[in-house]
Amino acid sequence: MRLAERLAGAHVLLTGATGFVGEALLERVLADLPQTRLTLIVRGRPGEPALARVRSLLTKPAFAALRARDGAQAVDALVGTRIQVVEGELGGQVGGLPPDVDVVLHCAGEVSFDPPVDEGFRTNLTGTLALLDAVRATGSRPHVVHVSTAYVAGLRSGWVPEGRHPHTLDWRAETRAAQALGDGADAASRVPTVLADLLAEARRHRGAAGRQEVAVEAERLRLRWVSKHLIEAGRQRALSLGWADCYALTKALTERAVEDGCSEWGVPLSIVRPSIIESALRRPAPGWIEGFKMVEPVLLAYGQGLLPDIKGAPDTPVDIVPVDLVVGALLAAAASPPPIGEPAWFHVGSSARNPLLFRDLHDYVRRYFTTHPLPRRGRGSHAVAAWDFAGEPRLERRLRLAERGHRAADRALEILPPSSAVRGAADRLDRVERRLRGLRRLSDLYGAYTQADLVFGDSGTLALHQALDPEDQAVFGCDASVIDWEHYLLDLHCPAVTALLRWSAALPPAPRPARGEPVADPSRTVVAAFDMDGTLLPSTVVEALLWVRLADAPRGRWPREMVRLAADLPRLLAAERHSRASVVRAVTERYAGADVEALTALVDERVASEVLSRLSPAAVRAVREHRAAGHRTVLITGALDLFTRPLAPLFDEVLATRLDVAADGRATGRLAEPPAVGEARAAWLARRAAEEGWDLPASAAYADGLSDLPMLRAVGLPVVVNPDVALARLARREKWPVVHWASTPSRSRFALAGAGR
Amino acid sequence: MRPGFVLEVDERTPPLLVHRGDSFGLERFPLGSRVVYPPEALPGLPDVRAAITQALEHPLDSEPLRVLLRPGMRLTIAFDDISLPLPPMRTPDIRQQVIEQVLELAAAAGVDDVELVVANALHRRMTGPEIRRIVGDRVYRSFWPQALTNHDAEDRANLVHLGLTDEGEDVEINKRAGTSDLLVYVNVNLVSMDGGWKSTAIGLASYASLRHHHNTKTMRHSRSFMDHKASALHSSAWRMGRLLQEHVPVFQIETTLNNQAFPTSYAFLTKREWEWSPRDQAMFWTLKNGLDRAPGRLRRKALSDLVADYEVTSVQAGAVEPVHELTIANVHRQQLVEVGGQTDVLVFGLPYLCPYNVNSSVMNPVLAMCLGLGYFFNMYRGQPLVRKGGALILYHPVQNAFDQLHHPSYVDFFEEVLAESTDPAIIEERFEKQYATDPWYTHLYRTSHAYHGVHPFYMWYWGAHALEHLGDVVWVGGDRKAVQRMGFRSASTLGDALSMVSGSVGTSPTITYQHNPPHSIADVR
């Protein structure tokens, strides 16, 4: 009997229809089982309810042939007639299920190998049981077809028969423990010692930016800590129980839970265990694949020359199976329910009868990329490596060495003063880091699979195949021996996987998307706020102090003054990394007793030339352009107002630090008010904006350091100028424009104006 | 003292010294090239002090200065700024010597109300130490800063409008100078462009007055501006000066220097190459290699520390025009070289210094253009040394670098104006006013040490005549981008430059190298 007849009139409940296997399955049912009805459980997305998701699903390439055959309108009309959609999520509540389900095809599941442990159990195990309970509650008595994975076999080698794996784990206890870990991790992250460590790290990265920024960063780090902690918990638990990762562990326990559930419920159960599912052999189209699955990241990394070698032995079979064979096995299994209480197991893989060895895979892929190299935009094409299968210890050693080198270089860069060379080095280092991170991930994730010397027996699946009507064998066949690996890899899989990359590389280099210029409200003032030190001119408060102290001192005292300053410099510089406010205060102390009027005259006479000669021309042009555009130009600096005097005409408003002056006209060594640094700048901008009706979202701010982060965040158009490495990285993440305003320091900083001839 | 002459390069001619901005080179010119050498340095006056006394006591077309001074009068002494002479002369500066004698006479005559003004027009304000170097310690301490000031062309309260010339040109000058009972001007006539009515009518003027002659049209009709009788610029200044004279009597004291433009220890810079002694050879080698290896700032410092061992060749005083006639005769005595006919290709090596980058960190591209196509090109009398449509080849690195303290408007001129056009007339029409009235540039001109916002435009107009006259301009060793921005081309060697200009002058052009500095004026017959 044909499969279409065997499943005619059946009502199939399908989960995971939006996933890779589910989509292929849906296509096949719609195309080749015309009498079969479907109910899909689909998760709605924000702005896209489940029904809409299904409608748009039917327009994807998988359904192109069907639409061509039956007409687009006819296919669209299936939703609501042959297809019913129920909104629901695995691990969440599912309601409104029909009472007459004949087959449950459960394809949905957590696909990540290393989910946080609680999430992995919730989605795969608890979610599956909840689904079965919901179906049971409607009164249906369906045949349950559960999609598992061949890797539930765990870390072992050799022949793996189809059947129940001999382990005695209590899935209920494991699930409870995972849940408890999840709840505990959040609590653990709030322990004072952990919080203190996280805060210290946040301070190291964002300390200069002020306490609010530190707090935001610390909370971000805490959430990351929780997630990493749970991922690691899942990984380690799986390894300690003999599975490669959390995914395989939860899948294995789910099988057992489903067995228990179905035998208690009294419904037939088939468990289908595919190996690594890859692109289609024939259906829905040769080479059809959607999204990147398991092998693709490795393939692409290899094609881009990023994978110098791989863990794994050359004669290990890599168990890959095309998606259409899996779909065929699932439907064939669905049509052949086993007796109640005697679950049937099916391995869908290739290692038993048509193994693809690692070295063959490498040869094919290498041949493919040698004849069809991946293009590099504007730089010809990528070169590929020849793996020598060096073995795990050597690879691991190499990778660890590279990671250590990277960390050392990174630490060095963070403390170097900003310069174009340092920024360039940081960019290069970041590229290295991305590469290393990718390698580490691939190595950690796939290590277990590439080294697993497993052969999955598939006599059950072969029997399913042979039981099919000969005509059905062509459509629903699940015999892996038909695969011609050379043809599959070279003509179908590799071209399909690289198609997207090739397509995007062929595009002309995209112009950087212009930032959407915020539309200014013409009735409100637009502001351009500028930081001074490091932005308009390359110097710091520390240097400014040096100038004035030197200018003030008689020439004979210069050496003494310089020695004193040199002694203080480390302290001042260290303080500057920590907080600019404390530097400004330390600097101000040094002015105690100075005659302010004389000091002002001194600055006007001597220091002004120094300041002006160091001004970056591009910076001045930017200020002037803003002014010409009708913007209000504002100088915000932690430096003493004395030093801003030469620049004052460029700005409509200057916020600088003022010295506290005693009645006798001498500086007290204290500040008249707290210095405008860090968050104080943002607060000041907000206050002035409220008072004067400034339009901050349409305003710009220019600054150079992490300490200016609050000011940059306060406006709609932050521009980062000559950033240090930390800020440059942040700017890239935030997609803020970065400009390099060079200044040609025209004369030695010690040749004070007036000291020349 | 041997006169200047024109050498024809033959097999025996050694490689010749060529200035290349912050360095020098030796260049082997093609056989048959002509090289114009200035006359050797004239002997200086044996007793400068006596010569000054003599000039003040026996002025031309004027009563002796002693007679012109009387108690209760307002006396203003104006003098040339730091742009003269180049390089700065060894102290005491000739201006100090003259001013001291004038002040002695004024003191003797009981004149109390004396002020000194630097005639810096739209040039940058000089710093105290720079002024002290010119006027000497005694004068500086007595007058700075109240009675010894930089002229401020933007200080509306201290300008006086004296009227219009017959051609409708505004005459607006420093109020103190324009309302004095006597204006004494002390100059250094380094080149023939200086002096005469240019001293007062230009040096003490405002933008409103300067714009009448500092423009493209005038500069295109100043052929050359080094010859005041053939210069529209000078004609305008002369008209203004005659009007000025109706309001204030001017007693002009002009001085001339010889050709000793470098310290005597660097004699090779002023000697003819085939006469270099082993010591000169060694000095050249040391200096060149030192400069080429030194970082920019050090190189710059080594060069700007050079002071010239100039000697004074003449002092004349009295009425402006007769004094200037005599002065020019003295300048010509030192600089004029007769050259037979024009050339297809003219070659200059541009030195590290021009009038507008004294004590600056660098000579910027606009100044390099002005030095080459303005000053050097115009060092001729009669007709340009290079034929119409001929080529000019200049040696200079043309770094894209600016002194942000002295030349803030130059940076923007280079980035914004030259990016739009390099045609002086278009630039003048579209951009001059905006720069001239820009409040930020004006602020910097008045309070800092910046050239006026309009000054880079003047530098560009200075080259207007050359731009119109020449068919090709190529810079040897010039920064490609900076040179291109100015509308020129750059080459790495003289050979490349010659093949680049072959389109306009052919493959076997006549070549003339004007060996400069020390300065020479080509009297082209």
In chain B, residues with a C-beta closer than 8 Å to the C-beta of A744 are: 361-362, 401-404
Question: Could you tell me which chain B residue has the CA closest to the CA of A748?
Answer: B297
Give the best residue of B306, B448, B449, B479 to mutate against chain A (max A CB count within 10 A).
B448
Residues of A in contact with B353 (CB under 8 A): none
Nearest of A152, A364, A161 to residue A242 by alpha carbon: A152
Cite the DSSP H helix spans in B170-255. 175-178, 197, 203, 207-210, 216-220, 232-247
Q: Classify residue A575: in a domain, yes or no.
A: yes
Beta strand segments in A265-405, E? 269-274, 276-278, 320-322, 344-348
A538 in a structural domain? yes
Distance between CA A718 and CA A682 in Å, rounded? 12
CA distance B355 to B328: 20
Q: Is the pLDDT of residue A317 over 70?
A: yes
Cα separation of A749 and A746, whole Å? Answer: 9
Structural domain contains residue A98? no
**Does the structure show a pLDDT above 60 at A343?**
yes
A629 to chain B, closest Cα gap in Å: 15
Peptide bond into A284 cis (omega under 30): yes
**Range with lowest mean pLDDT among A317-331, A389-403, B74-88:** A389-403
Alpha-carbon distance B407 to nearest alpha carbon in chain A (angstroms):
9
Tell me the C-alpha distance between A639 and A531, whole Å.
10
Closest-CA residue of chain B to A608: B448
Q: What is the CATH number of the domain that holds A688?
A: 3.40.50.1000
Residues 649-688 of A with CB under 8 A from B: 649-650
- In this prediction, residue A86 carries a pLDDT of 92
Cα distance between residue B515 and residue B275, in whole Å: 15
- CATH fold label, B5-40+336-524: 2-enoyl-CoA Hydratase; Chain A, domain 1 (3.90.226)
pLDDT at A556: 57
| CA–CA min distance A743, chain B (Å) | 8
* Confidence band of B289 (pLDDT split at 50, 70, 90): very high
Please report which residue ranges of A661-717 form alpha helices under DSSP H.
Answer: 679-692, 709-713
Residue B115 pairs in a beta bridge with B76
**CB atoms inside a 10 Å sphere around CB B22:** 22
Interface test with A, best of B297, B405, B442 (most A CBs within 10 A): B405
Within B273-401, residue ranges assigned H as helices are 278-293, 296-304, 320-335, 365-369
Q: Is residue A616 one of the residues assigned to a domain?
A: yes
Kindly indicate the confidence band of residue A757, based on its pLDDT and cuts at 50, 70 and 90. Answer: very low
Question: Are the C-beta atoms of B88 and B358 separated by less than 8 Å?
Answer: yes
pLDDT tens digits for range A202-235: 988 887 777 888 898 899 999 999 999 999 999 9
Residues of chain B with CATH 3.90.226.30: 5-40+336-524
**Under an 8 A CB cutoff, do A646 and B448 touch?**
yes
Q: Average model confidence (pLDDT) for chain A? A: 84
Q: Is the predicted pLDDT of residue B182 greater than 90, yes or no?
A: yes
Closest CA to B483 of B350, B332, B327: B350
Number of structural domains (chain A) is 1
Q: Which residues pair with B60 in a beta bridge?
A: B318
Q: What is the mean pLDDT of residues B175-203?
A: 96
- pLDDT given at position A520: 56
Beta bridge partners of A720: A703, A738
Query: Does residue A747 have a pLDDT over 50?
Result: no
A221/B58 Cα distance (integer angstroms): 91
Tokens of A650: 């460029």
Q: Residue B127 and residue A624: Cβ atoms within 8 Å?
A: no
Between the ranges A499-503, A555-559, A686-690, A753-757, where is the mean pLDDT highest? Answer: A686-690
pTM: 0.77
Contact A609 B405 (CB under 8 A): yes
Contact A612 B444 (CB under 8 A): yes
Q: Do B402 and A617 touch (CB under 8 A)?
A: yes
CA distance A545 to chain B (A): 21
Q: Which helix (H) or strand (E) holds A656?
A: strand A653-657
- The pLDDT of residue B1 is 79
Confirm whether A550 is domain-assigned.
yes
**What ranges make up the beta strands (E) of B406-488?**
472-476
pLDDT at A571 (0 to 100): 66
- pLDDT computed for residue A373 by the predictor: 85
Query: What is the per-residue pLDDT for A744?
Result: 59
Q: Minimal CA–CA distance to A681: which of A535, A589, A581, A575?
A: A581
Question: Chain B neighbours among A 616-655 (CB < 8 Å)?
Answer: 616-617, 620-621, 624, 646, 649-650
- pLDDT grade for A513, boundaries at 50, 70 and 90: very low
- The rounded distance, in Å, linking the Cα atoms of B134 and B95 is 6
Cα–Cα distance measured from residue A331 to residue A30, given in angstroms and rounded to the nearest whole number? 12
Report the alpha-carbon distance of residue B178 to residue B159 in Å, rounded.
Answer: 8
B340-349 tens-digit pLDDT: 999 999 999 9
Long-range contacts of A657-661 (CB under 8 A, 24+ apart): A657/A584, A657/A588, A659/A588, A659/A591, A659/A596, A661/A596
Give percent above pLDDT 90 in chain A.
40
Is residue A265 within 8 Å of A131, Cβ to Cβ?
no
**C-beta of residue A353 within 8 angstroms of C-beta of residue A480:** yes
Query: Which chain B residues are closer than 8 Å to A753 by Cβ?
Result: 127, 449
A202 belongs to a structural domain: no
Q: Structural domain of residue A605, as residue ranges?
A: 527-739
Q: Which of A666-670, B99-103, B331-335 has the lowest mean pLDDT?
A: A666-670
CATH placement of domain B48-257: 3.40.50.11440
pLDDT value at B185 more than 90: yes
Asked, for residue A546, whether it belongs to a domain, the answer is yes
Query: ipTM of the predicted structure?
Result: 0.86
Cβ(A712)–Cβ(A738) under 8 Å? Answer: no
pLDDT computed for residue A304 by the predictor: 78
Residue A469, CA distances (Å) to A329, A348, A476, A484 in order: 14, 19, 10, 23
Task: Report chain A residues whose CB lies below 8 A from the CB of B308.
Answer: none
Band (pLDDT 50/70/90 cuts) for residue A456 is: very high
Q: Give the count of Cβ contacts less than 8 A between chain A and B.
A: 65
Say yes or no: B435 contacts chain A, CB-CB below 8 A: no
Quickly state the pLDDT bin for A447 (edges 50, 70, 90).
low
Write down the residue that tokens 């000291």 correspond to: A755
Distance in Å, alpha carbon of A549 to nearest chain B alpha carbon: 21
Among B200, B127, B123, B94, smallest CA distance to B354 is for: B123
Contact status of A747 with chain B (Cβ, < 8 Å)? yes
Q: Do A744 and B359 touch (CB under 8 A)?
A: no
Flag whether residue B326 sits within 8 Å of chain A, measured between CB atoms: no
* A608 touches B at CB < 8 Å: yes
Contact B440 A614 (CB under 8 A): no
